[in-house]
C-alpha cells in the first residue's frame, strides 16, 4: 500500500519483452532506537512483533526494520542467519 504513490515505469528486457515495474525510490534515514542481537533462528516478522520492539499487530511496520538494514540484508542475500544484529528504528 505504501508504494501506491511510486510511479510505474516500463522495463524492456534483452529479449524485447516489456514489463510494468515500480520506479526506484530512496530509503529514508531512520532514527535508530536500539541495536538488537539476533540468532540464526530469528525471522523478521517475529522480531518486529516482539513486545519490546513494535508489539502485537505491528506487521505493517516491519518494512522499517528492513529498510534500516537494507545494505546488510542485501549483502547477506536476505539471509538473517548471516547477520548478528539489526538496527531497530523508532516506530
- Summarised one tens digit per residue, pLDDT across range 40-70 is 899 888 888 888 888 887 878 888 999 999 9
Residue 16 has pLDDT above 80, yes or no: yes
Looking at the whole model, is its pTM more than 0.85? Answer: no
By the 10 Å C-beta count (0-12 exposed, 13-18 middle, 19+ buried), 67 is classed as middle
Distance CA 9, CA 45 (A): 30
Distance CA 78, CA 1 (A): 22
- Residues belonging to the chain: 91
Q: Between 48 and 1, where is the model more confident?
A: 48
**Residue 20's Cα: distance from chain center in Å?**
22
Looking at residue 1, its pLDDT comes to: 60
Amino acid at each position: 500500500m505504501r508504494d501506491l504513490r511510486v510511479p510505474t515505469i516500463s522495463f524492456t528486457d534483452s529479449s524485447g519483452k516489456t514489463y510494468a515495474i515500480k520506479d526506484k525510490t530512496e530509503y529514508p534515514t531512520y532514527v535508530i532506537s536500539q541495536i538488537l542481537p539476533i540468532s540464526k533462528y530469528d525471522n523478521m516478522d517475529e522480531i518486529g512483533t516482539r513486545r519490546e520492539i513494535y508489539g502485537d499487530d505491528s506487521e505493517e511496520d516491519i518494512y522499517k526494520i528492513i529498510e534500516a538494514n537494507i545494505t546488510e540484508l542485501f549483502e547477506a542475500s536476505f539471509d538473517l542467519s548471516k547477520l548478528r544484529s539489526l538496527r531497530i528504528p523508532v516506530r
